[in-house]
Amino acid sequence: MKYWQPEYETMNHNELDKLQLDRLKKTVAKVYNNVLFYRNKFDQAKVTPSDIRSLDDISKLAQTKKSDLRDNYPFDLFAVPKKEIVRIHSSSGTSGKPTVVGYTSQDIANWSDIMARNMVMIGLTKDDVFQNSVNYGLFTGGLGFHYGIEKLGAMVVPSGTGKTAKQLEMMLDYGVTGLHCTPSYALYLAETAQEMDILDDLSLRIGCFGAEPWSSNTRKELESTLNLKAFDSYGLSEMYGPGVAFECEEQDGLHIWSDHFLAEVLDSEGEPVSEGEKGELVLTSLTKEALPLIRYRTGDITRLLESECACGRTTHRISRMLGRADDMLIVRGINVFPSQIEEVIVQIPQITDQFQVILDRGRHHLDEIMVRVELEDDAFTGELKDLAAVRRHVENELKNILSIRTNVELVEKGTIPRTSGKSQKIVDRRNAL
């Protein structure tokens, strides 16, 4: 089986354009009639659904940002009554209210088909056993992959996270051939398997990795160590979750499912970039019932590639993600903003508002985050126990906000390097290792 839904995956460009326009018109009308936020946006721009006559007319519509989801928390962006919502997912809400996304039963069915497409595209079949080593629950990664694998008809092992030795034991006992986790955790699995001397006994052949940046060198290391083919997965909860774009067996860019998502790549002024140029990925959902989003700014930097691919699929393609348009960091799959750290720092009287975030790969290939903060002149009492108490206090406050363990280093005032009067906020050494 080469395709899951060949009528959409191999649709010619003229038919695809017509399908996208038809679905865009319906989506625009749906949000205009059912979501007050969008009606106000459209009215301010003096645009009505009837003004959308071509795909180019999408430029008439205002963009949507993540803050809009928080401002309309929890359900004010939903385009259907709450009784039609069968599931919600949400972000961790580490910088205020979480972003909440909803799904109708049709949304779940569409998402399952999208994920089944991705799995078929990378060579999985009903004969495979797939271990899903990510969090289940409000995080979309767990159930997103789970439903797609079940739709395909393969066996799912919903192992979740942690208990690495047990994860490897399941891989051996169940004959696991496919794996989904973060790339950093996959490296740790490989390292542990080497220590247990069981690498040669594993049956892995396909790995799906995402939720954090990873390099070509990491891909090579994963493929050579675990003896599998490693595929990049891209998604975001605002557009269902994982599976918005995925590599095929050619591993030459990611296919965006153009029948479900209208993709733009825009420069900092909001204008489309030329093919091959870098820009921010902006997505419009074309089939979402519960939470249709218009021109959603993902914050991810990518390139638009030629549609033609040796795999035979005709959907639009993008490069692997090249960075962020904002200052967001992704640490162990969790979104971290320096502004969140700053909010904590400025409220602790024993330290100044100068800080530096240092990101490294730890001894188990997992991300480590360390925050250097400067002590106020009068904070040092001469007692080491007092310094230890300050450090623990800062670490606890950061963990409460970031939902991730953070090491804190206390340094003298003036120690952190300044550039034009500002401290150098981020030192990311992960890809240098």
CATH code, 390: 3.30.300.30
Of the candidates 309, 326, 343, which is a domain's last residue?
326
Tell whether 215 and 358 lie within a shared domain: no
Q: What is the pLDDT of residue 126?
A: 98
pLDDT score, position 197: 97
Q: Residue 276, by phi and psi: left (phi above 0), alpha (psi -120 to 50) or beta?
A: left
Tell me the pTM.
0.80
Between 222-231, 365-374, 394-403, 421-430, the lowest mean confidence (pLDDT) is in 421-430
Out of 326, 356, 378, a domain closes at: 326
pLDDT at 420: 34
Residue 344 placed within a domain: yes
358 and 252 in a common domain:
no
Residue 15's pLDDT band, with cuts at 50, 70 and 90, is very high
Indicate if 309 and 344 belong to the same structural domain: no
- Indicate if 279 and 338 belong to the same structural domain: no
pLDDT value, residue 433: 47
pLDDT value at 318 more than 60:
yes
Domain range for 424 is 334-428
222 vs 366, residue with greater confidence: 222
pLDDT value of position 419? 45
Mean pLDDT, range 236-253, rounded to an integer: 96
Checking if the pLDDT of 134 tops 50, the result is: yes
Answer yes or no: is 136 within a domain: yes
> Is residue 323 over pLDDT 80?
no
Is residue 218 one of the residues assigned to a domain? yes
* pLDDT at residue 340 in the model: 80
Q: Please count the structural domains in the chain.
A: 2
Are the beta carbons of 104 and 75 closer than 8 angstroms? no
Residue 357 included in any domain? yes
Number of H helices, E strands in the chain: 11, 22
Q: Which residue has the higher pLDDT, 156 or 325?
A: 156
Which pLDDT score, from 0 to 100, does residue 377 have?
Answer: 80
80-87 long-range contacts, CB within 8 A, separation 24+:
80/34, 80/104, 80/289, 80/290, 84/289, 84/290, 85/290
In a domain, 433, yes or no: no
Chain segment 85-119, per-residue pLDDT in tens: 999 999 865 446 889 999 999 999 999 999 999 99
Q: How confident is the model at residue 181 (pLDDT cuts 50, 70, 90)?
A: very high
CATH of the domain at 312: 3.40.50.12780
- Say if residue 81's pLDDT is above 50: yes
* Residue 199 counted as domain residue: yes
Q: Are 287 and 351 part of one and the same domain?
A: no
Rounded to an integer, what distance in angstroms lies between the CA atom of residue 262 and that of residue 368? 36
Q: Are residues 56 and 27 in the same domain?
A: yes
Q: Same domain, yes or no, for 322 and 339?
A: no
Q: Are residues 280 and 375 both part of a single domain?
A: no
Q: What is residue 327's predicted lDDT score, i.e. its pLDDT?
A: 73
Using alpha carbons only, give the angle 332, 334, 337 rounded to the nearest 5 degrees. 120
Asked whether the beta carbons of 356 and 372 are under 8 A apart, the reply is: yes
Instruction: Say if residue 88 is in the same domain as residue 134.
Output: yes
Residue 50 lies in a domain: yes
pLDDT value at position 337?
74
Average pLDDT in the chain:
91
Residues 287, 194 share a domain: yes
* Residue where one domain finishes, among candidates 273, 307, 326: 326
Q: Are residues 202 and 228 in the same domain?
A: yes
**What's the pLDDT score for residue 103?**
98
Task: Please indicate whether residue 37 or residue 162 has the higher confidence score (pLDDT).
Answer: 37
pLDDT of residue 92: 63
pLDDT at 209: 95
Residues 225 and 144 in one domain: yes
Q: Over 80: is that where the pLDDT of 217 sits?
A: no
- pLDDT above 50 (res 422): no
